[in-house]
Chains A and B, each alone.
Chain A
Amino acid sequence: MSAGAFRTATGGRIDRTHTLRFTFDGRPLQGCAGDTLASALLANGRHLVGRSFKYHRPRGIVTSGSEEPNALVTVVRDGGRTTPNLRATQVELYDGLTAISQNRWPSLTRDLGAINDKLSLMFPAGFYYKTFMGPRFLPENWAWTKVFEPAIRRAAGLGRAPTSADPDRYASRYAHCDVLVAGAGPAGLAAALAAAEAGARVIVADEQSEMGGSLLSASRGAINGVPTAQCAADALAQLAGHARVRLLPRTTVFGYFAQNMAGLAERISDHDPSPDPEGPRERLWQVRARHVVIATGAIERPLVFSNNDRPGIMLAGAALTYLNRYGVTPGQRAVIAGSHDGIYAAALDLAGVGVEVAAVLDTRADPQSAAMAAALDAGLPIRTGTCIVGSRGHLRVSEIMIGAPMADGSIRDAGRIPCDCLLMSGGWTPSVHLFSQSRGKLRFDAAAGVFLPGVSAQSETSAGACGGASGLAAVIESGAAAGRTAAQACGFGLGRARAYRVEGILEATEATGHVNAPRLPQGMAKAFVDFQNDVTSRDLELAAREGFRSIEHIKRYTTTGMATDQGKTSNMNALALVSGTLNTTVPDVGLTTFRQPYTPVTFGTLAGMARGDLFDPIRRTSIDGWAQGKGAAFEDVGTWKRAWYFPRAKEDMHAAVARECRTVRAAVGVFDASTLGKIEVVGPDAAEFLERMYVNAFKALKPGRCRYGILLNEAGFVIDDGVIARLAQDRFHVTTTTGGAASVLNMMEDYLQTEWPDLQVWLTSTTEQWAVIAVQGPRARDVIAPLVDGADVGGEALPHMSVCEAKVAGVPARLFRVSFTGELGFEINVPVGAGRSVWEAVAARVEDAGGCAYGTEAMHVLRAEKGYIIVGQETDGTVIPEDLGLGWAIGKSKADFVGRRSLVRPDMIRTDRKQLVGLLTRGRDVLLDDGAQVTSVAAPAKGTAALGHVTSSYHSSVLGKSIALALVRGGRGLMGQRLHVPMPKGAVEVEVVSPVFYDPKGEKLNG
C-alpha cells in the first residue's frame, strides 16, 4: 500500500513498502519512509495545516523547503520534548511522529480567533502605532499595557515555547577547511567535486536530509547520459571517497561571519524515531574556511492576488518536488499559473501522472519557449495574457477567478475555473542571504528584476542559481568553475575540468522571471505578500501612501519580512509592490538587511555543552573534599567553590559562623586559603620591579621577611593587595586576592613587556602550585610546632611578617607567619598534591587543641573586626590608600611607582575625601545593610547627597554586637559623632568609631 490517497503508484524517492504511522492533531495518518511531514500530509490530502499569525486564516503548505511561511507545526516527543514552529516541509517523518497545528482554538477547522479576519479593519499597517490609545484620564500607556497588549499576545503568535528544561544535549565543534560549500544542489556538488579533486579540504553542508537539491526532484533530463538523481548519488559517492571531504546533510549554514567563519547548525537526531538517549540532538559547527562557495539556489515567489493564501494554493516548483521526489500529487484538478516557464514543466509532469490540468495561465502576453511548446504539444489548455484575481473555497481552494489585464491597467473579468489546487510561480529569487551576510555588495539586475551578488567582501564565490545562473547546464558549469576557483584560491592546482553534458531539460527562457506585482483594484479582499506575518498588498500600499519611502521603514511599519522566515518568499514581491506604488525602481526603495540566522537556530545549539556542570569551570581546592566530608556549606568566589562555614548539628549559618569566630579568637582555627593568587617574581631586578609596581618599598626588605603590598592602577586607585615575601635576593613570592590572580599577572606582564623590557625579571603563576593552610589563633604555634621540621617557629626566629622554608608534616613547605585575623597566625604553603594530607594532619591537631576549621564567612568577620580591608568591598575603584588609612604603606622615598603621580592630583589631596571608618549602631543593635547610605540626619531632604556608604557589615559574636565598616566623607574627622543610616525600616542612628574594633593595639598578633 502506498500511504495516502494522493500518492502516485510509482516514482519518487520514498519507500512505499515502508509505512510510517504518525498523528496530526491527534488524527492517525500514514506516510512512507523518505517523506517529510508536509509530503505525508499532502499524500493524505491534507493541505490545511495551520492558522495565520494575525488573522487566523486557514493556511496550507506553500513550499517544499526551509522557506515555508505557513506550515509551522509543533512536534511532541516523549520526555517533555516539545518543539514549536518547525516547518513541516523540513520535518522528516518517522514512525510514531506526533505533530500538532498551532495558533488555533479550539481546533484547526473551527478557530475562534478567525474573528480577527472579519475585524481586519482594526489591524491596518502599523495598527499598534495607531490604535489602542486609552482614555486621557488614565495613566499613559495604561490601555496598552493592561488591556490591549495582553489580549493581543494571547490571540496572536506562533507555537508555545516548552516550559520545562530542555532534556536534550547539544554538541559543538570547531572545524577548518579550504573550501566550505553551502548547499549541495547541482552547483554545490559540482563545486565540491572540483575542489576535492584539486586536493582541497572540503566541507559540504546542505539543509536537507538528502543531498542533491533540485537534482532529486527533476523528472526528466540527464547529465552525461545519467539521470539527474543518479548523478547526485554518484557525485556524493565520489565525494565520500575523498578522505579530506566532510559531508554534512541536515546542516544549515545559518550565518556568514568575518574572515570566512561560518556558523552551521546540524540536526542530528530529530529525524530518528528512537534516538540514542545519550547522543546529542544538534551540533553547532564553527567553520573557518579559506574560501566559501555559496550554492544556495533560488526561492520561488508566490503570486499576489486576492485570497492567495487558501490551502491548496502552493508554489509550482514545490508541487514538482512533491510529485517527483515524494510521489505526491497536490490534488485532482489543478490550475497552474504564473509568469515563469516553470509552470509548463509542472503542468506536464502533473498531467503525466493523471492529474487533470484545468488550465495553464501565463500572465505574459506572448511567451515563447520550448517549455511552452512542449506543453502545447501535450494538448494542455494554455491561456496567455491571463492573471488570477481571486480564489474561493472553505478551508481549501475550490475555484479561482481569472482576469485579463487591459491596456489601461484595469483587469477584465475572464471567468472562473473550478479546481482543488492552484500551483503558482511568480519567478525565482536568488538566495543571496549568505553573500549579503558576508558583507558583499548586492547589485540589482534590472533585466531579471532581482538582486544578485556584486562586489565580494571576502574570499567567496556564489555559484548556480544564487549567483544568477540559468538552466541546469549553466548552474553545473558555474558550480564546477567555482570549485576550481576556490581550490586555486587555496593554493591548489587547477587540474582537469570535468565535462558536463546536460540533455532533456525543459530550460526556462529566463533565469528568474519578472516579479509579478499587479496593481490590484481597491477594495479587493486580502492579497497576501508576507504570509507568515499576514501582511497584505494593501498594507504596503497604505504605508507608502502614509509617507514611508525606505523599505527599512516600511518593513518595521508593516512587519513585512520580519517573521521567522525573514521574508524569503515575500521580500521581492514587497519591493516590487512598493516601488510600483511609489513609481520608482526597486533599488531606489532599497533592500533590507539579511541577518543571521538564515533559518531559526535553537538556543540549545548555540549554548552547546555550556550548561549545568559544564556551563563554567567549577574550581575546587585540594582540601575541598575534606570540607565536603565535614558538611561544609560552599560559596562561589569567581569560579572557585570555597568552604563558607562548617555547620555542626542543628547549627544555622549564624550560629556556625559565631562559633568559628569565637574559637579562632579563644583557641585556634584552620582555614583553606588555597585560592589566593600567587605569582613567583624571579630575577636580579625582582625587587626593583616590585618597587615600581607596588606602593611599598621592597629593595630594603630582607630575605625571609614579608610586607603587606598595595597595588594601584595608574590613576592612583587601589586595585589589589596581598602579602609579598622575599624568599631570596632575587626571588619573591607575591600573593594577590583570589579574584585578582589573573588580572594582576596580566598587569605585571604588561608593564614588564611594554614599559620596562630592560628589567631582568620573570613572572610565573604559582596559584595552583601551592595549597595554603592558614592556622590562626592564640594556640596556632602550639598546633603547628610539632609538625614543623627544619625551622624554628618561635616568635624570635619567625616573627610576624616573616617566612621560612621547612618541612610541615613531612612535606617541603613555605611557612609564613602572617595574620588576616589579628591573631597569632601562620600560613603553610605546600605543593597542592600534598595539600589534603598536610591539612588533615594540621586539622587533627587543631581539633585536639579545641579549635576548628572555619570558612570564608568567619574569615570575613574576623578581618572586619580588625578593620582589615577587602579589595572590592572596601574599595570600588575610586579609593586611594590614604582613604583606607593605609598611607603608611607607601614608600615615601620612592621616586615612582604605578599610580604615584595620581596621588598628588588636586582631587586626591582633598581633606574631605571619603575615608574608612567604623560604625556602631546606637541603642538597639542593628545589622546595617551592606551598601546602605550614610547621612548626617535621619531624614535628609530630597536631593541631599549621602556622606558615604556601608562597605561591610557583620554581627560580631566576639564583641557581642554588630559592626560595620563605611566610607564616609571626611570620616576620620568625625570620630565620636552621630550619623544616620537609612534602612528599609527607618533610619538607624550610628556612631563613627575607629575601623579597628578588636585589639586596637595589635597585641594578639604575637599570641
Chain B
Amino acid sequence: MASVDAAVSAGGGRDAGALVRAAAPAARFVFRGRDAAVATVASALGTPLSLEPCRASQSVGRIALWLGPDEWLLIAPRSEGGLVASVLAKALGGVPHALVDVSDRNSALIVSGPAVEDVLSAGCPLDLDQAAFPVGMCTRTLFAKAEIVLWRTAPAEFRVEVARSFLPYVEGVLAVAVRDGG
C-alpha cells in the first residue's frame, strides 16, 4: 500500500489534517431479500439490519450496511467469513434470499482526522457535516469518478469501501486531497 503511505506522509508534512490507511482484511457478503429473510439474517448474524435508509448497524465486529431497500453489505473479520457464511446459509434454509460472497470484490480504507470532512469533500458531493451525515450513516455514493460505499464510523472517521480495481484511483485522489490540506 505504497500510495497510502505516501498520502499519510505528505499530509503529515504540514498539519496532519487527515490520515488514510487500509482497513483490516474483511469477509464481505451482499445480502438481498425480503422481510422474512432480513429478520432471519439479523438473528443469525447477531446484528440487527437497519430498515431505516442509509444506516449501519454493528455488534461484536459484525457489520450490516444498508445499501438499498433490499440490499445490505455484511462485513465481518476475515477469519469469520466461513463461519458467517455457513451460519447464514443454515439459518436461511428455505427462505428466499440471495447471499453472495464478495470478500475480494472490495477494498476498504479508513479516513480519519480533524480535516476528514474536507478531505472527502474533494471528491464526494454529499454534505458530510455531522448534522447531515451523522455517525452511523452509510451510503453508496461517488468519490470523484469512482463509486464508493461511505460509512461514518466516528465523528472524525469514515470507512470507504471501494471496488478493488478502483482502489489505486481513490487512493490517488485521497492523497491529493490530503496534500491540499483538506
Query: Is there a direct interface between A and B, measured as CB atoms under 8 Å apart in the complex?
Result: yes
Which residues does A use to contact B, with CB under 8 Å?
Answer: 169, 171-176, 201, 278-280, 283, 286, 288, 609-610, 613-614, 616-622, 640, 680, 682-684, 760-770, 831-834
B33 and A620 form a contact (CB under 8 A): no
B172 and A278 form a contact (CB under 8 A): no
A176 and B127 form a contact (CB under 8 A): yes
Q: Does B135 contact A (CB under 8 A)?
A: no
Which of B40-48, B49-57, B91-99, B151-159 lines the interface with chain A?
B91-99
Total residues of chain B contacting the partner, CB 8 A: 44
Q: Which of B140-182 contact A (CB under 8 A)?
A: 144-146, 163-166, 168-169, 172-173, 176-177, 179-181
Contacts of B110 in A (CB 8 A): none
How far in angstroms is the closest Cβ of chain A from B165? 4
Q: A610-B144, A831-B103 are in contact. Are A175 and B121 (CB under 8 A)?
A: yes
Contacts of B99 in A (CB 8 A): 682
In whole angstroms, what is the CA distance A621 to B166 when docked?
10
CB within 8 A of B105: which of A169, A613, A768? A768
Contacts of B179 in A (CB 8 A): 278-279
Contacts of B118 in A (CB 8 A): 173
Q: Which of B66-116 contact A (CB under 8 A)?
A: 70-71, 96-106
Which residues does B use to contact A, with CB under 8 Å?
Answer: 10, 30, 32-34, 70-71, 96-106, 118, 121-127, 129, 132, 144-146, 163-166, 168-169, 172-173, 176-177, 179-181
A762 and B97 form a contact (CB under 8 A): yes
Q: A609-B176, A764-B32 are in contact. List 10 more A-B contacts (CB 8 A).
A: A174-B123, A609-B144, A619-B169, A622-B164, A680-B98, A762-B98, A763-B32, A764-B30, A769-B101, A770-B104
CB within 8 A of A174: which of B125, B168, B176, B180? B125
How far in angstroms is the closest Cβ of chain A from B30? 5
CB within 8 A of B166: which of A619, A682, A832? A619
Nearest neighbor of A749 in chain B, beta-carbon distance? B68
A614 and B169 form a contact (CB under 8 A): yes
Q: A171-B176, A764-B102, A832-B164 are in contact. Are A617 and B124 (CB under 8 A)?
A: no
A sample of 26 inter-chain contacts (CB < 8 A) reads A171-B177, A171-B180, A173-B121, A173-B122, A174-B123, A176-B132, A614-B176, A617-B145, A617-B166, A640-B165, A682-B32, A682-B100, A761-B98, A762-B70, A762-B98, A764-B98, A764-B100, A767-B105, A767-B163, A768-B105, A768-B163, A769-B104, A769-B105, A831-B104, A832-B164, A834-B104
Contacts of A278 in B (CB 8 A): 10, 179
In whole angstroms, what is the CA distance A690 to B181 when docked?
50
B96 and A760 form a contact (CB under 8 A): yes
How far in angstroms is the closest Cβ of chain A from B52? 20
Contacts of B71 in A (CB 8 A): 762
In whole angstroms, what is the CA distance A763 to B97 when docked?
10
In whole angstroms, what is the CA distance A764 to B104 when docked?
14
Contacts of B98 in A (CB 8 A): 680, 682-683, 761-764
In whole angstroms, what is the CA distance A175 to B126 when docked?
8
A288 and B127 form a contact (CB under 8 A): yes
Contacts of B102 in A (CB 8 A): 764, 766, 769
Contacts of B166 in A (CB 8 A): 617, 619
In whole angstroms, what is the CA distance A466 to B20 when docked?
45
Contacts of B164 in A (CB 8 A): 622, 768, 832
How far in angstroms is the closest Cβ of chain A from B123? 8
CB within 8 A of A762: which of B33, B101, B125? B33
Nearest neighbor of A770 in chain B, beta-carbon distance? B104
Contacts of A640 in B (CB 8 A): 165
How far in angstroms is the closest Cβ of chain B from A627? 15
Contacts of A765 in B (CB 8 A): 105
In whole angstroms, what is the CA distance A169 to B10 when docked?
15
In whole angstroms, what is the CA distance A683 to B102 when docked?
17
How far in angstroms is the closest Cβ of chain B from A781? 27
In whole angstroms, what is the CA distance A619 to B107 when docked?
14
In whole angstroms, what is the CA distance A832 to B106 when docked?
10
Contacts of B32 in A (CB 8 A): 682, 762-764
In whole angstroms, what is the CA distance A770 to B104 when docked?
8
Contacts of A279 in B (CB 8 A): 179-181
Contacts of A620 in B (CB 8 A): 165, 168
Residue of B96, B99, B104 ringed by the most chain A CB atoms within 10 A: B104
B129 and A680 form a contact (CB under 8 A): no
In whole angstroms, what is the CA distance A280 to B164 when docked?
28
In whole angstroms, what is the CA distance A762 to B98 when docked?
6
How far in angstroms is the closest Cβ of chain A from B83? 15
CB within 8 A of A283: which of B123, B145, B180? B180
How far in angstroms is the closest Cβ of chain A from B64? 15
In whole angstroms, what is the CA distance A23 to B103 when docked?
62
In whole angstroms, what is the CA distance A176 to B125 when docked?
9
How far in angstroms is the closest Cβ of chain B from A26? 35
In whole angstroms, what is the CA distance A610 to B129 when docked?
25
How far in angstroms is the closest Cβ of chain A from B32? 4
In whole angstroms, what is the CA distance A278 to B175 when docked?
12
